Amino acid sequence: MHLIWENLIPNLISLWTGGFKKLNQGQHTYRLSGTVWDAIGEATARSGDTIPTTFGPRMGNIAKDRSAATADAWSLWTLYLAPVLLRQRFAHVRYYEHFVDLVQLLLLCLQFEISAADLEQIRQGFVRWVKKYEEYYYQYMPSRLPTCPVTVHALLHIADGIKAAGPVWAYWAFPMERFCGRLQPAIKNRRYPWASIDRRILELARLSQIKLITFTDDLTADPTCILGTPRRVIVPDKGLLDKIIGCLVTRLERQPNTIRMHLPHDIEQFGRVRILGAGDIIDAAALVRRAGDRRDRTYVRYEVFVDRFARRRQRLPEYELQTFYGRLEHLIVLPFNDPRTIIALGFDGPTTIVLAAVQPCSITGSSSKLDIHYYSQYGMLSLIDIQCIQCVVGRVPDGPSGKSWGLVDRSGALARALAVDD
């Protein structure tokens, strides 16, 4: 924690902004102009509205004040914000690629499981990274020796530490630091601090129970998630109704008129969904209005099977699992309990189908090294099964226009669909 987030990253920023021990940039051109760094600081603060709370703390404008940034905040900025905010900002792309290589190695170190091959990749990767660091910043000049503190050399021993003690999540200090950070504001009485702490722990426990009231088990029959309020019954407009019918035609293999005849007239919508198994809480944009300092958690990653030969009607379909990103608009619950409906639609018994209406992001490019994707426009509304949604994702502004965004996903391999043969 102290090696990377509280030393290496702030030192790199000081080098890029010209504030590192009064050193110039020597023979290289890695320094960012004041205007560029101000724009990065403003974008960092602005991204606080579009990065869900599960990613980490909200960051302020680091161009104006870096003193309030914690190790947790620097971790968020390095792994998810900076790869987007620093893109096309340097005078030469090699400095950006060098930073992305560091992010790759850090993400590898943070994996839940690390194989022997991963460990060797970490070892050799940090060796290459430090050599490049010396070339770009130290430049083999004795006068620039301050650019090589012991924290840079310590990177070469990270692989040894993982081999000796296991993955870093097993012994890092973040859980205790966060717990202490929650307790410290609770001490209101210096004479009786323990009474204050006890009361704070009780209040936190009560708040955790209040959060569960938003979600109740009887709101959905789907085994993978729980739907939550707000809750509303609507009569769908023709566009949404046609999308629902089209989705059910494909799923149930029935004619559109049959689906339309047995579809409920009034359709129930929900505003939130919580994925079971320590999954994310996701809002539906149509019902949950983001106000004040509430952070946006309506963008999701979802995975569906797509026919590779959809445009070749004469060829038999061949399906493959593909990943998409989009904004969750509606959570629709369709109960089918009438005996005639059950027979007509081929159900074995009373059935509830939960659909998610998603406005897909039209991806215009992706990072070749990181799980980051860029978009500026949306596609047509799509309806998918709720089980296709894997996790919530964050957005980082890409450039000053405000129209282009980078999509960042923190889940990695922990939230991926598995295709199981029947």
User: Using one digit for the tens of pLDDT, what is the confidence trace for 150-160?
Assistant: 999 999 999 99
pLDDT at 172 over 50: yes
pLDDT at 421 over 60: no
Kind of pairing between the strands at 319-336 and 351-366: antiparallel
Query: What confidence tier does 216 reach under pLDDT thresholds 50, 70, 90?
Result: low
Question: What is the spatial distance between Cα 402 and Cα 63, in angstroms, rounded to a whole number?
Answer: 19
Q: How much is the average pLDDT of 330-339?
A: 92
pLDDT for 221 equals: 54
Kind of pairing between the strands at 299-307 and 405-408: unpaired
In the predicted model, what is the mean pLDDT of the chain?
88
Q: How much is the average pLDDT of 205-221?
A: 68
pLDDT for 231 equals: 87
pLDDT for 190 equals: 81
pLDDT at 195 over 50: yes
Cα 11 to chain centroid distance, Å, stands at: 26
Q: How much is the average pLDDT of 102-120?
A: 93
Both tokens assigned to 411: 């889940």
Q: Is 106 left (phi over 0), alpha (psi -120 to 50) or beta?
A: alpha
pLDDT for 220 equals: 55
pLDDT for 414 equals: 44
Q: Could you read off the pLDDT of 340-393 as tens digits, one per residue?
A: 999 999 999 988 899 999 999 999 999 989 999 999 999 999 999 999 999 999
**Percent of the chain, pLDDT > 70?**
95
pLDDT for 215 equals: 61
Cα 402 to chain centroid distance, Å, stands at: 19
Query: What confidence tier does 230 reach under pLDDT thresholds 50, 70, 90?
Result: confident
pLDDT for 214 equals: 60
Both tokens assigned to 13: 């920023």
Query: What confidence tier does 136 reach under pLDDT thresholds 50, 70, 90?
Result: very high
Query: What confidence tier does 277 reach under pLDDT thresholds 50, 70, 90?
Result: confident
Contacts of 314 (CB under 8 A, 6+ apart): none
pLDDT for 170 equals: 82
Residue 304 or residue 413, greater confidence: 304
* Predicted TM-score of the model (pTM): 0.86
pLDDT at 319 over 80: yes
Nearest to 87 by CA among 326, 296, 400, 376: 400
Query: What confidence tier does 418 reach under pLDDT thresholds 50, 70, 90?
Result: very low
Other beta carbons within 10 Å of 288: 20
pLDDT at 211 over 80: no
Lowest mean pLDDT among 98-112, 201-215, 262-276: 201-215
Query: What confidence tier does 185 reach under pLDDT thresholds 50, 70, 90?
Result: confident
pLDDT at 59 over 80: yes
pLDDT at 84 over 90: yes
Label residue 231 exposed, middle or buried (CB < 10 Å: 0-12, 13-18, 19+): middle
Residue 419 or residue 245, greater confidence: 245
Query: What confidence tier does 192 reach under pLDDT thresholds 50, 70, 90?
Result: confident
Q: Are 303 and 324 in contact (CB under 8 A)?
A: yes
Both tokens assigned to 186: 């609770």
pLDDT at 32 over 70: yes
pLDDT at 399 over 50: yes
DSSP state of 219: G
pLDDT for 415 equals: 46
